Homo-oligomer: A and B are copies of this chain.
Amino acid sequence: MQTEHTIAGIRAALAPRRKQGERIGFVPTMGALHEGHAALIRRARNECDVVAVSIFVNPTQFGPQEDFERYPRTLEADCALCEHEGVNVLFCPSASIMYPEGYATYVAVERLSEPLCGRSRPGHFRGVATVVLKLFNIVAPDVAYFGWKDAQQLILIRRMTEDLNLPIEIVGVETVREPDGLAMSSRNRYLDPESRRRAPALYEALLQARRAFEQEGVTDCSALAQQIRNHIAQHTGGRIDYVEIVSLDQLQPLTSVQKGNTLIALAVHLGGARLIDNIRL
């Protein structure tokens, strides 16, 4: 595995392979890699000739009160995971390479960046869209892989890629979960033991809602959302940021489930962590 820290370096590493017509798969990450990232890398490995991974804790997607400083940095373990999964090129730029002095350009994806996590994290998706566009332009992949865990991010990146006419395929990969159902996340390590024990209730609540829809025919979104809120309140004691049922394509609130176009998404503050999860109907 080749590790590059500069833009010229990663470009030089990939240029000859692109020239030979090899298909380049890209997995952008903020490091602190877990099995969810490994699933993205394996999918890229299966579908592409070359797999590039980036590790960059992107300052522009963190709010001033958020966890940029304490976000886990585990570079040594990350490199081992990438090596083990057969990554060809690892790109680890510094913040000053990505955002040099005088940096001024930001990408906004209207509407899709506003609901759900956008409400409590203003500016977050602007930072995400900007860094992903930059990484796309640097790596110039044929295909890029994102987890469904961050559903809003995936949907927004797809929109941006289409809107900006980038010749890149965006692939969504299913959320990887712990054996007890908790969605894997770099932020799970913020959980104290008691909160970690309670955290699977988020996914249980989502599964309950799916059962209510599929088996009992409940289609009323406010009823489903209330059921989810109740379950989370009863079983976690966490502070609910949001539980919302929206259309998958536009992220607009639904009153009634639209089969095949419904996303139930939630964010809950629990024992030092802000956890998100979602399910599609």
* Cβ–Cβ < 8 Å partners of A250 in chain B: 102
Cα distance A110–B185 in the bound complex, in angstroms? 33
A137 touching B112, Cβ below 8 Å: no
A134 part of interface (Cβ distance < 8 Å): yes
- Across the interface, name the chain B residue whose C-beta is closest to A165: B137
Q: Tally chain A residues at the interface, Cβ within 8 Å.
A: 26
A92 → chain B closest CB, angstroms? 16
| Identical subunits present | 2
Q: Looking at the complex, which one of B104, B108, B165 makes contact with A163 (CB distance below 8 Å)?
A: B104
A281 part of interface (Cβ distance < 8 Å): no
A127 → chain B closest CB, angstroms? 13
Give residues 83-118 of A contacting B (CB, 8 Å).
102-112
A134 touching B7, Cβ below 8 Å: no
A274 part of interface (Cβ distance < 8 Å): no
* Cβ–Cβ < 8 Å partners of A137 in chain B: 164-167
Q: Looking at the complex, which one of B107, B111, B134 makes contact with A165 (CB distance below 8 Å)?
A: B134
Cα distance A152–B7 in the bound complex, in angstroms? 27
A48 → chain B closest CB, angstroms? 20
A266 part of interface (Cβ distance < 8 Å): no
A196 → chain B closest CB, angstroms? 37
B104 touching A159, Cβ below 8 Å: yes
A133 part of interface (Cβ distance < 8 Å): yes
A138 part of interface (Cβ distance < 8 Å): yes
A160 part of interface (Cβ distance < 8 Å): yes
Give residues 135-171 of A contacting B (CB, 8 Å).
137-138, 159-160, 163-167
B110 touching A160, Cβ below 8 Å: no
- Across the interface, name the chain B residue whose C-beta is closest to A106: B108
B109 touching A163, Cβ below 8 Å: no
A117 → chain B closest CB, angstroms? 16
Give residues 9-25 of A contacting B (CB, 8 Å).
11
Of listed A109, A134, A165, A167, residue having the most chain B CB within 10 A? A165
A103 touching B134, Cβ below 8 Å: no
A residues with CB within 8 A of B: 7, 11, 102-112, 129, 133-134, 137-138, 159-160, 163-167, 250
Q: List 10 A-B contacts (CB under 8 A).
A: A7-B165, A11-B167, A104-B109, A104-B112, A105-B163, A105-B164, A106-B107, A107-B107, A134-B163, A134-B165
